[in-house]
Structure formats: C-alpha cells, structure tokens
Amino acid sequence: MTRYLVTGANGFIGRHVVDRLLAAGDEVVTLSRSQSEESDHGGQLRRVAADVRDSAKVSGAMNSVDRVIHLAAAVATRSLTLSESINVEGTRVVASAAAAQPNPPTLIYVSSLAVAGTIPDRNPSGPKRDAVVESDPCHPVSHYGRTKLRAEGVLHEIADRLPITIVRPPCVFGPGDRNLLALYKTIRSGWNLVLSKTFRYSYISVTDLIPGIIAAADRGVRLPPLTASAKPDRGIYYLTDPQAVTFVELAEMIAASLDEFAIARRRPLRHVRIPRAAGWFAGGCGEVVMRGFGGRVFLNLDKVREGVGGSWVCDGSRAEQELSFRPSAGLAERLIETTIDYHQSKWL
C-alpha cells in the first residue's frame, strides 16, 4: 500500500486521481482549499483544507507520504500576480516541504503542453516535424504556459534533493469535464465556431491520463540535478493520445457521438471560422467577466493567444518507451465515453 498526497484534489483531474488511488487500496491525503477537514473511507482518505502556498499546512499534510501528485494550479484567475503566486510559489512550497522530509517522497508534477508552445519551426533548414518532443526548447505563448514553465524551473533547482518527474498533458477531457461541455452545447445547436480550421491539437482523456501519472510515479526517470552536463529534458514526459485532430474533426467526432445516442441536434453541423479580431473581442469580454466578477469563462485572452498560435501537438513516444504508456482506447471511443457521462449527468 502506498501513501499519496494529492494537491488540487477537488479539481477535475484531481477527483479522478483520488478515486483511482482509493480503488487500488492506497492511502490518500488530499489538499484543497474547497473541502472540509475530515477522514473517510475507513481512514483510507484524509482531507486537509489548505491553500497550496500555506507552508505549515502543506508540511503537515506531507508527513509520512510516499508520493506527491501536485495538481494544484491556476489556469485562469482575476490577477496575473495570483496565477504566478499559485503556479510558481505554490509549487516551490510543495517541493520544498517534500524535500525537507526525513525520507523525501517522489513528486509527480502535472504540468502542461502550454509550456512548450506550438509545433516548432525553429530550424528552417532541417526536417519539418509535426509534433513537439521533450527536448525542444520551450516557447510558451500564454501567461498560463509561462507560469507553468517557471514552476518547472523551480523543480529543476530542487531536483538534487528530491526525486521529481514532470508530466505534460495536452488538453484533458472526459467524464466530469465542463470545458469540453461548452463545445458540446454549441455543436448541439448546429454551430462550430473556430479560429482555425487547419490547426491540429493533441488531446488525452482523463481516463487514460491517470494511469500515465501513476506510471510516471512507478517507473519514470527523475529530473537530474541542475548541472552543466545534465540533460534538462530528462524526467519529462508528454502523455497524449497519438491522434491529433483539427477543431473541425473534433466537432465531427462529437456530433457523431451525439447521433449514436440519439441526442437531438437542432440542425446539421456548420463549421464557421471567425475572424481573429472577433476572437480577440470575445476573449476580452471573457477577461472582463473573469477579472471583474470572478466568473468562470470558457474563452479569455490567454485562450485566444493559444488559439491563434498554431498547432498544439505533442509526441508521446518517450512515455511509450520509458513508461510503457499508451492510451487504452482511441479518441473517438473516449469522446463517446464523455458523451454518455454528460447525458447521464443531464448536462446535455
């Protein structure tokens, strides 16, 4: 039996991680601001209510754990300073608390493809590649990507005192995800509004991501100490479905899953490319709602920056070779799984 600490445990991915660990018989300590402090599952689960930047609370939750899965992050907040504080300083607090333990636990940091930037075109004389790999220099285009990359830098500084592996998933969807739900609703209405019909994107279902995270904890290579001879990409993995799709192809797959379960659509699906100026305007409106009222938005300026940046595709070959990781089902099947969940949850 392994004892885990999971930060960001009340988030979309965090809930799935905790459920999988409990089902495997592991002990779990969860850390999240939005939960009550209590024990459950016969003492197998202990909840700690705390901000990830609270060093005293984090250190207390870290006691006697074997592994830490650090998920807590700010994707979009009312303040860029707050995002920096949670993503970078919060990671520093978690890693430092782990390194200070008598027997430091293994830390799995769930980063993002957003740190890498779009498909590289950095060597015009060399062969053109269709996906980023772990050894590519990172060029994030969004504030979120930049803060996650700085958090990775913090972990490189601590790697001589703590076993650390970084995983970088692309866009994550699946049962319980409300981000893709917004796209489902527009598709049901017969519209698919996109900034590009040709850019391609990597995805992974949360159903497949969780085994990848656990595989990284079990047998992943750890970050090397920060030295002149170290390879900075060692101990980093892209966890992704091998099939990259355009937003047009994704929408068609979603529409097909709706049709399969006889979920009515108002009209045949139409794909409409909206002008970039309109995209920036919509992102700006979302930014006003998010910063002014603290509301949850599907589109803000950071998302537009990523949307106009190019194709977001990563190569999962290293994870397949070193972790024996590969999604156990294809993208279309995972979308059907998501459709079923949305329908059963009465979200559609």
DSSP of 21-74, one letter per residue?
HHHTT-EEEEEESSS--EEEGGGTEEEEE--TT-HHHHHHHTTT-SEEEE----
Mean pLDDT over the full length of the chain: 89
60-103, pLDDT tens digit by residue? 999 999 999 999 998 865 667 888 899 999 999 999 999 999 99
Asked if the model's pLDDT at residue 140 lies above 80, the reply is yes
Residue 186 φ then ψ, to 5°: -70, -35
In angstroms, the CA 69 to CA 72 distance is 9
> If we measure between CA atoms, which residue out of 119, 123, 116, 158 comes closest to residue 141?
116
pLDDT exceeds 80 at position 282: no
| C-alpha span between 17 and 8 (Å, rounded) | 10
The answer, yes or no, to whether residue 295 has pLDDT greater than 60, is no
Closest Cα partner for 189 from 279, 284, 272? 272
Instruction: Supply the pLDDT for residue 127.
Output: 57
Give residue 222's pLDDT.
97
The length of the chain is: 348
**In the predicted structure, residue 124 carries a pLDDT above the cut 60:** no
Domain residue ranges in the chain: 3-173+203-239
pLDDT for the residue 122: 46
The yes-or-no verdict on residue 160 having pLDDT over 60 is yes
Distance (Å, whole) CA 163 – CA 104? 8
Name the pTM for this structure: 0.92
CATH fold of the domain at 3-173+203-239: Rossmann fold (3.40.50)
**Averaged pLDDT, 164-178:** 96
Look up tokens 């039996």; give the residue.
1
**How many C-beta atoms surround the C-beta of residue 294 within 10 A?**
9
- Element holding 267 (H helix, E strand): none
Is residue 297 predicted with pLDDT exceeding 70?
no
With 0-12 CB in 10 A as exposed, 13-18 as middle and 19+ as buried, what is 298? Answer: middle
Ramachandran region, residue 310 (left: φ > 0; alpha: ψ -120 to 50; beta: rest):
left
Do residues 220 and 235 make contact, with C-beta atoms less than 8 angstroms apart? yes
108, 217 contact by CB (below 8 A):
yes
pLDDT digits (tens, 9 = 90+) for 229-256: 678 899 999 999 999 999 999 999 999 9
